[in-house]
Amino acid sequence: MTLWNGSYPFYPGANACFPFDTTRAVIVTIFLSMLVTFIIILPGIRGRGRLFWFLRLVLGLFMGAVVLTVQFTGDWETGWVQANTSYKSFSHVQVNVDIGLHIGLAGVNITLRGNPVNQINETINYNEHFPWNFGADYDRSYSEGLEKGLPSPILYVAEKFSTQSPCAVHRQYRIAGHYASLTLWLAFCTWLMSILLFCMSILLYGGHMLLLTAALILFSLLFFFTARNTPGCPIQFGSVSLRTDYGESFWLTLATGLLCLLLGLGIIILNSVQPEKLKLIFSLDKSSEEEVWDKSRLPAEPSCSVQDVLMVPLGELCQVTATQL
């Protein structure tokens, strides 16, 4: 293998970073647009019901956005390490790089960033995705990375998750990701049903749906937890090793599940103990407001003299005094 301009010919001249994930951007944009739209009509709500309505809106949109967005995130499990390692195959040149591993429900992202970014006359800034979701072939993606001539650290980490690796973690992560994704889709459906029930003022069943949503979210975390706690495979770079821990998506999903659990339990308990307060929170207790509104539209009460006249019996009013001639 001969050199060409200081690099081996099977390496591309320019390395493109992993493209921006437009799916998450679209989801966030849709939910933010809904929030802004509802905030615009917020001044049209009278009284203290405005605050309760705004809280219900924010909490509902937050839970739906999280359950839908974490399906497409790649930071359920993350890890970083800084190491001096070889950059290319068949070369002893060492580079100082930050290596990141990001595991999601649909695959892994492997990041390689130089310290500094420009080294050995190249820009070291990679972020490669290797999927294992339905319809995707992880081993094929790995083979394509070999054909493209990706840097050695990326191929080394990606090989740990292949089906041919002695680490044998591919099957656990893939199955756990599929089941976690399925339960999250079910949780999104139950969240929609809870919103529909609350809009129809069926509060008790809406609380039950929130409890079911919380159970599904926590089950998705349990599925991922089983894959995370399987015997791992060391990812060693010289004297340092790449270790991973739960990422932002995992903790955000856990917080959302606990929030759904607390809200569901609170609605069910209030419905059995103090249903009036629950109706007040959902702006259903409008008796006092209607009473005030009706009183304001009634005419003023008549004076005492008028009342006395109106209370005179009809027979007395019809009596006629006769004068004898």
Please report the pLDDT score of residue 4 as a whole number: 40
Higher pLDDT, 55 or 285: 55
Burial of 54 (C-beta count, 10 Å sphere; 0-12/13-18/19+): middle
Residue predicted with more confidence, 16 or 144: 144
| pLDDT above 90 for 265 | yes
Whether the pLDDT of residue 261 is over 60: the answer is: yes
237 touches 96 (CB < 8 A): no
User: Cα separation of 317 and 302, whole Å?
Assistant: 20
Residue 21: pLDDT band with limits 50, 70, 90: low
Half-sphere exposure of residue 5: CA atoms within 13 angstroms, side-chain side = 7
What is the pLDDT averaged over residues 264-279?
A: 91
Buried b (16+ CB within 10 A) or exposed e, 216-239: bbbbbbebbeebbeeeeeebebee
Angle at Cα 180 formed by Cα 177 and Cα 185, nearest 5°? 120
Q: What is the pLDDT of residues 48-100, one digit of tens each?
A: 777 888 888 999 999 999 999 999 998 899 999 999 988 887 778 889 999 99
Cis peptide before 116 (omega within 30 of 0): yes
Q: What is the pLDDT of residue 306?
A: 41
Cβ–Cβ < 8 Å for 89, 241: no
Q: Which residue has the higher pLDDT, 323 or 48?
A: 48
Instruction: Show the CA angle centred on residue 253, arms to residues 218 and 28, nearest 5°.
Output: 140
The answer, yes or no, to whether residue 297 has pLDDT greater than 80, is no
Would you state the pLDDT for residue 296? 44
Can you say how many angstroms the Cα of residue 122 is from the centroid of all Cα atoms in its chain? 38
pLDDT confidence band for 8 (50 / 70 / 90): very low
Beta partners for residue 179, in sequence order: none
Q: Residue 223 above 70 pLDDT? A: yes
Q: Which is more confidently placed, 159 or 286? A: 159
Concatenating the DSSP letter of every residue in 199-241 gives: HTT-HHHHHHHHHHHHHHHHHHHHHHHHHHTS-----EETTEE
**Residue among 22, 105, 27 nearest 66 (CA):** 27
> One-letter amino acid identity for 28?
V
Q: Is the pLDDT assigned to residue 317 strictly greater than 60?
A: no
pTM value is 0.79
* Top-confidence range, 10-14, 48-52, 316-320: 48-52
pLDDT digits (tens, 9 = 90+) for 229-248: 766 678 888 888 898 899 99
